[in-house]
Amino acid sequence: KTFETIDPRTGEAIARIAEGDKEDVDLAVKAARQAFDHGPWPRFSGAERRGIMLKFADLIEEHAEVLAVLEALDAGKLHSWAKMGDIPGAANTLRYYAGAADKIHGEVLKMSRALQGYTLREPIGVVGHIIPWNFPTTMFFMKVSPALAAGCTMIVKPAEQTPLIALYFAHLAKLAGVPDGVLNVVPGFGPTAGAAIASHMDIDKVSFTGSTDVGRQVMQAAATSNLKPVSLELGGKSPLLIFDDVDVNTAADMALLGILFNKGEICVASSRVYVQEGIYDEFEKKLVEKAKAWVVGDPFDPAVRQGPQVLIC
């Protein structure tokens, strides 16, 4: 069973992707559980995990052009921005958490003259990551990197709109030396693969980034299955407040960037602007002028400021 991933520039299919469902999630969880309970990754020293993660980061930089092309093709992201922003940012995130891999430790606490206590930090186990479509690279590594550093194994479900780059990251992870079963990518749809991850009895934690409505469903599924902990980063928009002591031209630039950065496909997009009455007309005029000059088009064109939308809600 497969599904098409679509080029948002043309609306045409780029490729057909194997569609993961509950059975595929079960297989991925089985592999992750085997890798956690019996494999080397949780038993490596922090320094050993760090070395592999650093190699992973190096490979991301070596493959930066391929990865930037995948971001532009699958997510409509500007090729130039992906290459100078998202891709090096992913490598930096990996390196940051790689640096923490050998610094995960507990504390010994002197409770009294006769008693002492201690804390112990251990990997939680098998983790399910559900990734959104607006930042398929950034969110992949914001979730995967700390889990790798801690010694967890994991299942990653990329958004069905943007599966290509996650599959390529799995390929690079294997080249870097991440053991089999540690990082499992299962493309699929939310009601099937995503729901299977959220409700799976052998997943120890779920991390989800997406809409508030789906976040509620993830939390409910986690609670009614094995009461697994969840981390939720949910959608929302943010207003701008613009007062009459600002430089109006700069304020208009920032307001436009606030709503159009990443095509507005971002949870902190400034979808509302509150402008103090005395500068309202001047601000509105400048904002309209700048918006008319904003170039939308092919994400591979260096003159373009904004690529095509991935999803029209």
DSSP notation for 159-218: -TTS-HHHHHHHHHHHHHTPPTTTEEE--B-IIIIIHHHHH-TT--EEEEEE-HHHHHHH
Report how far apart, in Å, the C-alpha atoms of 46 and of each of 34, 104, 207, 293 are: 20, 8, 23, 51
Q: Residue 92: what pLDDT? A: 98
Cα(197)–Cα(27) distance, integer angstroms: 11
Looking only at the bridges linking them, the beta strands covering 2-7 and 12-18 are antiparallel
Q: What is the pLDDT along the chain (313 residues), one digit of tens a residue?
A: 999 999 999 999 999 999 999 999 999 999 999 999 999 999 999 999 999 999 999 999 999 999 999 999 999 999 999 999 999 999 999 999 999 999 998 899 999 999 999 999 999 999 999 999 999 999 999 999 999 999 999 999 999 999 999 999 999 999 999 999 999 999 999 999 999 999 999 999 999 999 999 999 999 999 999 999 999 999 777 899 999 999 999 999 999 999 999 998 988 899 899 999 999 999 999 999 999 999 999 999 999 999 999 876 5
Query: Which residues belong to the active site?
Result: 233
Helix (H) or strand (E) segment spanning residue 129: strand 126-130
Q: Domains plus CATH for the chain?
A: 2-104+121-234 (3.40.605.10), 239-293 (no CATH)
Rounded-to-10 torsion of CA 37, 39, 44, 46: -60
pLDDT at site 312: 65
Residue 170 structure tokens: 């799995």
**Angstrom distance (rounded) from CA 97 to CA 152:** 13
The tokens for 241 are 């407040």
132 in Cβ contact with 157 (< 8 Å) = no
Say what the pLDDT of residue 313 is: 57
Q: What's the token pair of residue 25?
A: 């999630």
Q: Are 198 and 221 in contact (CB under 8 A)?
A: yes
- The encoded tokens of residue 287 equal 């904002």
